[in-house]
Amino acid sequence: MGDNLEQIYRNLLTEIGENPSREGLLLTPGRAAEAMRYLTRGYSMDLREVLNDAFFEATGDGMVIVRNVEYFSLCEHHLLPFFGRVHVGYIPREKIIGLSKIGRVVDVFARRLQVQERMTTQIAEAIDYAIRPEGVAVVAEGRHLCMMARGIEKQHSSVMTSHVIGVFRDDSATRNEFLSLIRRDPDE
């Protein structure tokens, strides 16, 4: 993948009218290939390895929420970045998951060519599969360069997506508690 990806970027520079041999662009194909591999590293991440058995016995039935998990992804339609925050909540049944693992689960799915709607669902389903909680709720907020820098060019637009499973789907009070908590100012 290494040399071939670099050649693809070299060809891309030529196709847009640039000279990949000029001083400022000599190293660009290699840098761009390295950046693409980094931005799409989710394809080489295995969810089981990422979670690494970081499960612990649940000691209560309260809601666990991890807010403001930053993510960066690439739109599969335009190969342009989109980025934002993910909020994850779940109600344990028998197990809880290590808190840092939530961020790693987000990366598994964000670091691929993606659409925000699918990414949100994949994160929720992965957590549901891993620990079988009473329910999972995921809300993702994103800013998409494909909307901001091209097309309709709406720089202040953002996209929100959600996916709820179990008690978050079935019980509006539980869902509303989650939504209220992720909107709360942490300094309150």
37-66: per-residue pLDDT in tens? Answer: 999 999 999 999 999 888 999 877 799 999
Q: Answer yes or no: 7 catalytic.
A: no
Q: Answer yes or no: 87 catalytic.
A: no
Does residue 156 carry a pLDDT above 80? no
Helices and strands (H and E) in the chain: how many: 8, 7
Confidence class for position 147, pLDDT limits 50, 70, 90 = confident
Does residue 81 carry a pLDDT above 60? yes
pLDDT of residue 96: 93
The tokens of 43 are what?
A: 């394809």
Catalytic residue among 75, 114, 122, 134: 75
Whole-number percent of the chain with pLDDT over 90: 82
Catalytic residue among 18, 78, 125, 177: 78
pLDDT of residue 113: 97
The tokens of 81 are what?
A: 């970045």
Q: Answer yes or no: 15 catalytic.
A: no
Whole-number percent of the chain with pLDDT over 70: 97
Does residue 5 carry a pLDDT above 70? yes
- Arithmetic mean of pLDDT, 100-116: 97
Residues in CB range of 168: below 8 A, 6 or more apart: 89, 91, 135, 136, 137, 174, 175, 178
Confidence class for position 1, pLDDT limits 50, 70, 90 = very low
